[in-house]
Amino acid sequence: MISTKTDVILRPIEIDCEFGYIDDTGKLVIVPQFDDACFFSEGLACVKLEDKWGYINKFGQFAIKPQFDEANDFHEGLANVKIGCFKDFYEKKIGGKWGYIDTSGNFVIKPQFIEARSFSEDVAVVSNKPRNYGYIDKTGKYIIKPQFDEALNFSEGIAIVRNNSFKYGYIDKTGEYIIKPQYDEACYFSEGLACVKIVNKCDDVKWGYINRSGEFVIKPQFLYAEDFSEGLANVISIDDSGWGYIDYTGQMVIKPIFFCAKQFSEGIAAVCVENDMEEEKWGYIDKAGKYICAPQFDLANDFSEGLAFFNIGQCFDLLDGQTTTGKWGVIDKRGSIIIKPQFDAANDFFNNLAYVNIGCEIDHRGRKVGGKWFYINRTGEIIKETECTV
């Protein structure tokens, strides 16, 4: 038996085309043996073996044997899984039905849906036919009958839905509209406000922000808008002069001078400008709009755990339709490069480790293929796999 503490964070890793799990020190805790593997959720991890999905515990033992055509992580004690699929001419799985299992692998809601999403706040979105969504409880009983053209998960007791007139509104768990369908697009509430899109009869598009009563706190006035994050929201000004940042009153506190702008994360936001050669370059600003790192990168990720990945050299060739990966490196909040650009793909830091790749390419669908994936620490040192104890 593999020895591990159940509270240890385990990370999937691919070695010689098989997936296993390591801990934060790089120790192999579960030997590579799976065709695919996901992170642990509620004590179990979804893994693929011989074209079927099952679930293992942190000892590497199958808690639920591989038997599902598709499977997702456990949320609130249940996981949505699919059975009954078959493969078409292109070997793509089609058909089948979704249901929900418990952590013992027993179906508590039998497979019956063509679409079923993870539970959130004890409720899940399901559909039995295209563009006809409703909500069920954990017994499989409809608490809101199928009626929506589109429906999203509940968050803080509110869900976004779209009716057959293609207008978005907000409902509570009784299915009653707390904000009637009237928006052409709608987002979740973030920091007390939700950004919504209005298109008038002249096809003029404007975004604004509403409160939970549906009242406009910031009237529709932007060409585009995103959620508030850390007290500021990134928006495109109505005159299309560029991206800037507003506060809760709608006041533009950082002028709209950017070609593109991301949300603030850890007090810093990635922004893009065009230089004198009409090249798009990314840098980072603080909440005063001051650069902590001048625009110089071809891509820039958000900060995570005090560090951010940036890319030098990634570009798209219009002639051959190919994307060059470029190289990813890491900066700190002072704007100093602490890990030189060297990776062909990179995921943000999580619990002081980042999953990176050397040798991959980007295919015509934008997917990263090939190369070797491994973990690095905050100094760029490779976390080498060591033998596990069996």
Q: Residue 5 above 90 pLDDT? A: no
Whole-number pLDDT of residue 208: 98
Identify the pLDDT of residue 321: 58
What count of Cα atoms within 13 Å lies in the side-chain half-sphere of residue 306?
A: 8
Task: Give the residue with greater pLDDT, 91 vs 56.
Answer: 56
- The string of pLDDT tens digits covering residues 68-87 is 999 999 999 999 999 999 98
In the numeric block, the tokens 């790089």 are attached to 26
pLDDT computed for residue 323 by the predictor: 72
Averaged pLDDT, 201-222: 95
Q: For residue 2, is pLDDT > 80?
A: no
pLDDT (0 to 100) of residue 317: 62
Q: Is the pLDDT of residue 198 over 90?
A: yes
**pLDDT higher than threshold 90 for residue 384:** no
Average pLDDT, the chain: 93
User: CA–CA separation, 257 vs 268, rounded Å?
Assistant: 17
Q: Is residue 388's pLDDT more than 60?
A: no
In angstroms, the CA 350 to CA 293 distance is: 23
Domain borders along the chain are 1-102, 120-183, 184-258, 271-390
Question: What is the DSSP annotation of 300-369?
Answer: EPPPBTTEEEEEES-EE-TTT--EE--EEEEEETTS-EEEEEEESEE---BTTBEEEEES-EE-TTS-EE
C-alpha angle with apex 10: 8 to 16, nearest 5 degrees?
A: 150
Q: Are 45 and 38 in contact (CB under 8 A)?
A: yes
pLDDT > 90: percent of the chain? 83
| DSSP run (H or E) holding 34 | strand 28-34
- Of 12-16, 159-163, 289-293, 321-325, least confident by mean pLDDT is 321-325
CATH architecture of 120-183: Beta Barrel (2.40)
pLDDT at residue 211, rounded to an integer: 98
Report pLDDT digits (tens) over 22-38: 999 999 999 999 999 99
> Which pLDDT score, from 0 to 100, does residue 4 have?
54
Tell me the average pLDDT across 46-73: 97
Whether 273 shows a pLDDT value over 50: the answer reads yes
Measured distance CA(154)–CA(134) in Å, rounded: 12
- The amino acid sitting at 36 is D
Q: Specify the pLDDT at position 354.
A: 96
User: How large is the average pLDDT for residues 277-304?
Assistant: 95
Handedness of CA 113, 115, 117, 123 (dihedral sign): negative
Is the pLDDT at 1 greater than 50? The verdict is: no
Q: What is the pLDDT of residues 303-325, one digit of tens each?
A: 999 999 999 998 866 555 567 88
Q: What is the pTM of this model?
A: 0.91
Does residue 203 have a pLDDT over 90?
Answer: no
User: Does residue 199 register a pLDDT over 60?
Assistant: yes
For the segment 81-121, what is each residue's pLDDT rounded down to a tens digit?
999 999 898 888 899 999 999 999 999 999 999 999 999 99
Return the higher-pLDDT residue of 265 and 91. 265
